[in-house]
Amino acid sequence: MTQLFSFGLGVGTHNQKQEWLEVFYPAPVLNPSAELAAVAAKAAGYSEGNQAIALNAAQVSQLAADLASVDAEQAAIAKSFADSKQPLVATFLADDSAPNTTPEAYLKLHLLSHRLVKPHGVVLDGMFGVLPNVAWTNQGAIDLAELSERQLQARLSGELLDVDCVDKFPKMTNYVVPGGVRIAHTARVRLGAYIGEGTTIMHEGFVNFNAGTEGPGMIEGRISAGVVVGKGSDLGGGCSTMGTLSGGGNIVISVGEGCLLGANAGIGIPLGDRCTVEAGLYITAGTKVSVLADNGDVVEVVNARDLAGKSDLLFRRHSQTGAVQCRTNKSAIELNEELHKHN
Ligand SMILES: CC(C)(COP(=O)(O)OP(=O)(O)OC[C@H]1O[C@@H](n2cnc3c(N)ncnc32)[C@H](O)[C@@H]1OP(=O)(O)O)[C@@H](O)C(=O)NCCC(=O)NCCS
């Protein structure tokens, strides 16, 4: 057997048509050892390509037995699966091509949130097409076509079916809580987010899939799909990083290390290291920016995209003229130690 890209044993939810709604992988594996791949392949009946193989009870006990001498963690998972009545799956990814099934897409989202790959580190093309839109409830994932019946059933047994959200992505923390993070409002971080150690996400913070933080950092603003925030950066309350999924350029936005996006600020260009954007200032790629010398004279006027990725810049909107200005950032921020030392 050739080297696999990824492998995961998962337990998930089917709708009444036996289609996958979601899959939970307790310990997804990136680049599994040849031995683990071979043993799992034999027990599950896998031969080649990217496949999600539904497991029956016999395959699960075979896996538990055969994996015991190869991989204690995976063996323990297989053993714990033995008594479950839930749909079980072994997902094998021979390569990192675009996901074709719901279990494949979920495995890739898990790789990101388990910090096994960085944002942009896996191919997610076409993922929206294989992720069903689901009602996420206190009774788990429910197919929207079956929701009203389940709501009625719950009411008739004197219960309330609580629908937290209706979305293609569940919240990350119901699948994994990576070490060393604080997340004040868990619904605001989607599965597929990469949250680096030492990151604090306050209530206004939001992190989309295939996006995240290197950590440590303080996130009180929105990290859109594809955006990565470097070490020691602070996203102030309600600030915005422009996404690339809709209606805009295709520049991938990023924030370097030691940056501060002020409250209600926004960026449509990538920032280098130690940059500050004044509270309330939204810089888009085409914003005309007056570049100031240390004595305050205007040196040149450029489009903000020309300053993309450059370090040690401070952007502000002059409060009297309204001109957007950029000068050397002399006071790069230091994260509040008090806030971070208890992560
Ligand atoms: C842009 C920012 C970093 C500037 O702060 P700073 O470097 O400490 O600058 P200061 O406020 O000390 O001002 C220095 C000088 O620049 C001037 N200045 C500052 N901002 C200005 C503006 N927008 N227009 C004109 N002049 C301005 C000040 O008046 C002062 O002038 P002076 O020397 O003549 O008195 C700050 O205003 C800011 O927006 N911080 C973001 C904080 C934030 O939102 N944190 C997240 C919380 S959730």
Q: What is the pLDDT of residues 245-268, one digit of tens each?
A: 555 566 789 999 999 999 999 999
Cα–ligand 1 centroid distance for 269 (angstroms)? 21
Tally of CA atoms within 13 A in the half-sphere of 171 that contains its CB: 18
Phi, psi of 122 (to 5 degrees): -135, 150
> Alpha carbon 269 to chain centroid distance?
21
Mean pLDDT, rounded, of the chain: 94
Q: Is the pLDDT of residue 332 over 80?
A: no
Residue 161 is predicted with a pLDDT of 98
Counting ligand 1 atoms within 8 A of each CB, the residue from 278, 292, 318, 330 with the most, and so the one to mutate, is 278
Q: What is the pLDDT of residues 226-236, one digit of tens each?
A: 999 999 999 99
The mean per-residue pLDDT over the stretch 284-298 comes to 94
How far apart CA 315 and CA 239 sit, in angstroms, is 14
Residue 252 is predicted with a pLDDT of 85
How far apart CA 101 and CA 173 sit, in angstroms, is 22
Per-residue tokens: 274 = 């130690």
273: left (phi over 0), alpha (psi -120 to 50) or beta: beta
**Terminal C-alpha separation, the chain:** 42
Residue 334 is predicted with a pLDDT of 58
- Residue of the CA atom closest to atom 36 of ligand 1: 278
| SS3 at position 54 | strand
Which one of the listed residues 22, 104, 204, 220 is annotated catalytic? 220
What is the edge-to-edge ordering of all strands in the sheet holding 163-167? 140-143, 134-137, 163-167
Residue type, 251: I
DSSP alpha helices (H): ranges in the chain? 34-44, 57-67, 72-81, 102-113, 127-130, 144-156, 337-340
| SS3 at position 155 | helix
| SS3 at position 256 | coil
Cα–ligand 1 centroid distance for 333 (angstroms)? 13
The DSSP string of 168-226 is SS-BGGGT---TT-EESSGGGBBTTEEE-TTEEE-TT-EE-TTEEE-SSEEE-SEE-TT
341 pLDDT band (50/70/90 cuts)? low
Contact 235, 264 (CB under 8 A): no
Cα–ligand 1 centroid distance for 316 (angstroms)? 8
Q: Is the pLDDT of residue 336 over 60?
A: no
Q: What percent of the chain has pLDDT over 90?
A: 91
Q: Given the CA of residue 237, which atom of ligand 1 is nearest to it? A: 48
Residue 243 is predicted with a pLDDT of 77
Q: Is the pLDDT of residue 1 over 70?
A: no
How far apart CA 209 and CA 54 sit, in angstroms, is 26
List 277's β-bridge partners, or say none: 261, 315
The mean per-residue pLDDT over the stretch 289-301 comes to 94
Contact 201, 219 (CB under 8 A): yes
220 is catalytic: yes
Residue located via tokens 């942009």: 120
The mean per-residue pLDDT over the stretch 274-280 comes to 97
Q: What is the pLDDT of residues 158-204, one digit of tens each?
A: 999 999 999 999 999 999 999 999 999 999 999 999 999 999 999 99
Q: What percent of the chain has pLDDT over 70?
A: 94
